[in-house]
């Protein structure tokens, strides 16, 4: 773990875990109750979930497991979240603490999220706005298309402060709010005197003109983009490790280490005095993060920006099974009392050499090698 310690020296040293391909049995292994120590595999810490408290539904943050006087965890863990009876301490915005069992927390998580794990919440009011340096200014708001001037259709750089029905507040991207609450955002822009700004001018007049029709058509739930199943999804390696420190866990660190233990073989790191060979194209690589429904396990994947290079001349299509085929297979299995089994080849793309000439600059997930140039082989 020397590489990750280079990112933040305060993070404890851990050994790289075997990747799922190297483990016997199923992927995303969930230990049985008697395999787990109180500190191990605690995937609920840090979750933001709406719970009943004081006769109201309030959003609280899961802080820690509850223990008895002997220091033993209260309740029993179960691979099925609905049967997990461990107790947790939840902190609410006013500082009050309350005890909830894991199955109650999990039940509320599932009830408040859509099938993709995104939290659905209702807007109460828009209270403020701000723009950063990436926002389009008046001097740059027009672009020439076929010899004619057109307003740039972009909302980049703008955020609005939202007060939600659960009394929480957050800063949300204008692009997200515009899709869920177009009328409310348009009316706020007019009241706040910012409807003339390039990020609003190209769509606000149309929304206000079609006010009644849009209100009837828009679904009034906003799907929070920054969280999944109540957990914050980090956008960078730095933020992932910060979340681990805030929650006193190593879940994201472990996920990064697991991914890097496999994908490092795809990179030929150049020495400081080596130059990138002629004919190589630059491609940026970065980490993406996710939360898995099965046990709320953290997952990290190193991906490449394929849009930054010329389109390959060879066939790149990878087929997947259709929903109809799955339904037919399940029906046949049910009619004939057959067992259904699945398999997956993890990181299959690493088994073949890269035919394109690509190089990249290594990011913080590479630890001490951060900033060095590498060929993707």
State residue 21's pLDDT score. Answer: 40
- Residue 203 in this model has a pLDDT that exceeds 60: yes
State residue 176's pLDDT score. Answer: 84
Contact predicate 281/309, CB 8 Å? yes
In the chain, where the domains are located: 2-117, 120-223, 238-311+343-376
Contact predicate 51/90, CB 8 Å? yes
State residue 362's pLDDT score. Answer: 92
State residue 218's pLDDT score. Answer: 53
* Percent above pLDDT 90 for the chain: 16
Give the range among 12-21, 231-240, 327-336 with minimum mean pLDDT: 12-21
219 versus 68: the higher-pLDDT residue is 68
The mean pLDDT of the chain is 78
For the chain, give the secondary structure using H, E and C: CHHHHHHCCCCCCCCCCCCHHHCCCCCCCCCCHHHCCCCCCCCCCCCEEEEEECCEEEEEEEEEECECCCCCECCCCCCCHHHCCCEEEEECCCCCEEEEEHHHHHHHHHHHECCCCCEEECEEEEEEEEECCCCCCHHHCEEEECCEEEECCCCCCEEEEEEECCCCEEEEEHHHHHHHCHHHHHHHHHHCCCCCCHHHHCCHHHHHHCHHHHHHHCCCCEECCCEECCEECCCCHHHHHHHHHHHCCCHHHHHHHHHHHHHHHHEEECCCCCCCCCCCEECCEEEEEEECCCCCCEEEEEEECHHHCCCCCCCCCCCCCCHHHHHHHHHHHHHCCCCCCCCCCCCHHHHCCCCCCEEEECCHHHHHHCCCEEEEC
Give the pLDDT band of residue 107 (cuts 50, 70, 90).
Answer: confident
Average pLDDT of 27-34?
A: 41
149 versus 125: the higher-pLDDT residue is 125
Cα(112)–Cα(51) distance, rounded to whole angstroms? 10
State residue 209's pLDDT score. Answer: 80
Contact predicate 171/192, CB 8 Å? no
- Residue 231 in this model has a pLDDT that exceeds 80: yes
Task: For tokens 């894991």, name the residue.
Answer: 102
Indicate yes or no: pTM above 0.85: no
Write out the two tokens for 87.
Answer: 């107790």
Average pLDDT of 333-343?
A: 88
Give the pLDDT band of residue 25 (cuts 50, 70, 90).
Answer: very low
pLDDT digits 0-9 by tens, 279-314: 898 988 889 898 887 778 888 999 888 766 676 666
């Amino acid at each position: 773990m020397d590489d990750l310690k280079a990112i933040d020296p305060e993070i404890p040293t851990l050994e790289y875990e075997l990747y799922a391909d190297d483990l016997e049995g199923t992927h995303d292994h969930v230990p049985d109750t008697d395999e787990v120590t109180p500190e191990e595999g605690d995937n609920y810490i840090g979750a933001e979930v709406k719970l009943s408290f004081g006769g109201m539904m309030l959003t609280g943050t899961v802080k820690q497991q509850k223990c008895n006087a002997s220091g033993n965890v209260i309740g029993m863990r179960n691979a099925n979240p609905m049967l997990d009876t461990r107790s947790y301490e939840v902190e609410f915005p006013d500082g009050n603490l309350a005890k909830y069992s894991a199955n109650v927390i999990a039940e509320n998580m599932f009830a408040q999220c859509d099938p993709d794990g995104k939290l659905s919440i209702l807007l109460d009011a828009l209270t403020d706005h701000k723009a950063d340096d990436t926002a389009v200014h008046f001097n740059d708001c027009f672009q020439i298309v076929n010899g004619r001037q057109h307003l740039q259709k972009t909302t980049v750089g703008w955020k609005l402060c939202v007060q939600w029905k659960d009394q929480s507040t957050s800063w949300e991207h204008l692009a997200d709010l515009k899709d869920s609450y177009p009328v409310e955002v348009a009316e706020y822009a007019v009241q706040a005197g910012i409807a003339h700004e390039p990020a609003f001018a190209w769509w606000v007049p149309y929304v206000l003109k079609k006010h009644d029709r849009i209100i009837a058509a828009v679904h009034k739930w906003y799907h929070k983009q920054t969280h999944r199943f109540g957990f914050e999804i980090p956008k960078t390696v730095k933020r992932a490790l910060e979340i681990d420190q805030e929650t006193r866990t190593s879940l994201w660190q472990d996920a990064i280490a697991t991914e890097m233990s496999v994908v490092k073989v795809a990179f030929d790191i150049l020495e400081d005095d080596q130059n990138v060979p002629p004919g190589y194209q630059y491609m940026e690589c970065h980490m993406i993060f996710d939360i898995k429904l099965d046990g709320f396990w953290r997952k990290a994947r190193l991906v490449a920006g394929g849009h930054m290079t010329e389109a390959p001349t060879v066939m790149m299509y990878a087929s997947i099974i259709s929903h109809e085929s799955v339904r037919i297979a399940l029906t046949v299995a049910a009619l004939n009392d057959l067992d259904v089994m699945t398999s997956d080849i993890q990181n299959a793309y690493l088994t073949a050499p890269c035919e394109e000439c690509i190089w990249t600059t290594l990011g913080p997930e590479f630890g001490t090698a951060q900033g060095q140039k590498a060929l993707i082989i």
